[in-house]
């Protein structure tokens, strides 16, 4: 039978089922209480959505949905029983909870850590991890401080936020099998994965049992047993082949400037090398601000202190050479901190409203 390892404590699943574990602190107690409920056959769980595109809400997810999700991921990666798993995500959210469920269902050894920016830093002499899930910031820090340990991960999935072009290239040079995830709480974590090759675009492949199509507006429609219903998303995609798709961006972020539709996420990829060169590590996004003549105009919002006029003009010049005339940002705004969801995703609309309140 599998077990959960917390620091120097090794707790077999059988003991967790009985409620026998040492006092390890609130985060670990909540995580182990969830595992205890799972091992004792709890049929339904309440989970919070991230709120990345609206108000966070609580939804009921059935045990069967979570079982199907774990089985599909295990089949996709051909995970061996008793593999070492590292759970270093927030287990109050779907991504962290599903790491626990996978370990419980796969009879694994789960190394449970409280979420931090450097999840591999204190893990010495543990050999290879069969399966790990991280957010981009954790991977970025691990590349700086724990790259040899990162190379010892057999299968790495990365979610929670899009990967920068620079980070994709760095990950693609690792020996581990790394994928960007696509999913949400309503789909019980990911329903598709894209191999990180360093060459755009990312091509997502669905998990076993998942079928996809598009709506009349080219938005992704998901039929997935783990979702328990048909979901029409706000994600614009193209489907190059059966069971695969290329993500284009959010329909609700589309900019309509004088009748021309502009997809901000696509522009963000195109200007990524310029932003990384002049403002390395700074987060940014493209958005549509109100415009009396055109309805909306393209703006660039950067999480940074203001920069010199010369550097700003250099960025504007380089962007102008990369994108079409109507896609060029008409304004660049700087803001100290973006508004975020509890899981660390940028809340674009709320962050843009901060800018509009301050500058317009």
Dump pLDDT digits (tens) for 257-306: 988 989 999 999 999 999 999 999 899 999 999 988 888 999 999 999 99
For the residues 13-38, what does the mean pLDDT come to?
97
Band of residue 50 on the pLDDT scale cut at 50, 70, 90: low
Strands of 295-303's sheet in order across:
284-291, 295-303, 331-335
pLDDT above 70 covers a percentage of the chain that reads: 98
Residue 52 has pLDDT above 70, yes or no: no
Residue 122 has pLDDT above 90, yes or no: no
How far is 107 from 167, CA to CA, in rounded Å?
Answer: 32
- The pTM of the full predicted model, rounded to 2 decimals, is 0.84
CA torsion sign, 125 to 92 to 99 to 345? negative
Task: Give the CATH fold of the 254-359 domain.
Answer: GMP Synthetase; Chain A, domain 3 (3.30.300)
Residue 143 has pLDDT above 80, yes or no: yes
How far is 64 from 47, CA to CA, in rounded Å?
Answer: 15
**Least confident among 64-68, 141-145, 186-190, 342-346:** 342-346
Measured CA to CA in angstroms, residue 38 lies from 13, 91, 97, 131, 148 at distances of: 10, 13, 11, 20, 34
Q: What is the pLDDT of residue 2?
A: 95
CB 237 within 8 A of CB 247: yes
How many residues belong to the chain? 360
CB 322 within 8 A of CB 302: no
Cα 171 to the center of its chain, rounded Å? 15
For the residues 123-150, what does the mean pLDDT come to?
91
pLDDT above 90 covers a percentage of the chain that reads: 76
CA torsion sign, 185 to 340 to 27 to 132? positive
Give me the CATH code for the 3-204 domain, please: 3.40.50.12780
Residue 55 has pLDDT above 70, yes or no: no
For the residues 38-44, what does the mean pLDDT come to?
97
Residue 56 has pLDDT above 80, yes or no: no
3-state class (DSSP) for residue 234: strand
How far is 107 from 124, CA to CA, in rounded Å?
Answer: 23
Give residue-wise pLDDT tens across range 150-203: 999 999 999 987 888 888 999 999 988 999 999 998 999 999 999 999 887 899
Averaged confidence pLDDT in the chain: 92
Give residue-wise pLDDT tens across range 221-263: 999 999 988 999 999 999 999 999 999 888 889 999 988 989 9
Residue 54 has pLDDT above 60, yes or no: no
Give residue-wise pLDDT tens across range 303-314: 999 999 999 999
Q: Helix crossing, 63-77 with 94-105: angle to 10°? A: 70
Q: What is the pLDDT of residue 200?
A: 79
Q: What is the pLDDT of residue 51?
A: 55
Residue 356 has pLDDT above 90, yes or no: no
For the residues 32-49, what does the mean pLDDT come to?
94
More confident residue, 93 or 54: 93
Residues in Cβ contact with 40 at an 8 Å cutoff, skipping those fewer than 6 apart: 17
Domain residues of the chain, as ranges? Answer: 3-204, 254-359
């Amino acid at each position: 039978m599998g077990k959960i390892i917390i620091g120097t404590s090794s707790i077999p699943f059988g003991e967790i089922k009985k409620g026998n574990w040492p006092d390890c602190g609130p985060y670990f107690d909540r995580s182990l209480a969830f595992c205890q409920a799972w091992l004792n056959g709890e049929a339904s769980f309440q989970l919070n959505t991230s709120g990345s595109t609206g108000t966070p809400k609580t939804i009921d997810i059935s045990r069967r949905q979570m079982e199907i999700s774990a089985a599909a991921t295990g089949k996709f990666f051909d995970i061996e029983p008793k593999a070492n798993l590292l759970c270093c995500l927030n287990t109050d959210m779907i991504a962290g909870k599903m790491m626990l469920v996978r370990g419980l269902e796969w009879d694994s050894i789960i190394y449970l850590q409280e979420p931090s920016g450097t999840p591999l830093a204190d893990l010495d002499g543990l050999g290879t991890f069969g399966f790990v899930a991280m957010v981009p910031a954790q991977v970025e820090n691990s590349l700086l401080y724990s790259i040899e340990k990162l190379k010892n991960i057999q299968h790495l999935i990365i979610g929670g936020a899009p990967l920068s072009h620079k980070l994709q290239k760095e990950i693609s040079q690792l020996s581990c099998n790394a994928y960007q995830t696509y999913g949400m709480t309503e789909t019980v974590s990911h329903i598709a994965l894209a191999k990180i090759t360093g060459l755009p675009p990312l091509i997502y492949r669905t998990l076993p049992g998942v079928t996809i199509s598009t709506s009349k507006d080219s938005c992704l429609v998901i039929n997935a047993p783990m979702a328990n219903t048909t979901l029409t998303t706000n994600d614009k995609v193209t489907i190059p082949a059966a069971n695969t798709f290329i993500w284009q961006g959010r329909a609700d972020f589309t900019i309509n400037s004088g009748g021309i539709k502009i997809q901000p996420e696509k522009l963000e990829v195109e200007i990524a090398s310029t932003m990384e060169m002049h403002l390395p590590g700074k987060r940014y996004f493209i958005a549509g601000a109100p415009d009396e003549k055109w309805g909306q105009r393209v703006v660039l919002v950067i999480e940074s202190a203001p920069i010199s006029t010369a550097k700003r003009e250099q960025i504007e010049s380089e962007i102008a050479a990369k994108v079409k005339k109507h896609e060029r940002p008409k304004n660049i705004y700087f803001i100290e901190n973006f508004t975020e969801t509890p899981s660390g995703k940028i809340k674009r609309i709320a962050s843009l409203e901060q800018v509009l309140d301050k500058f317009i």
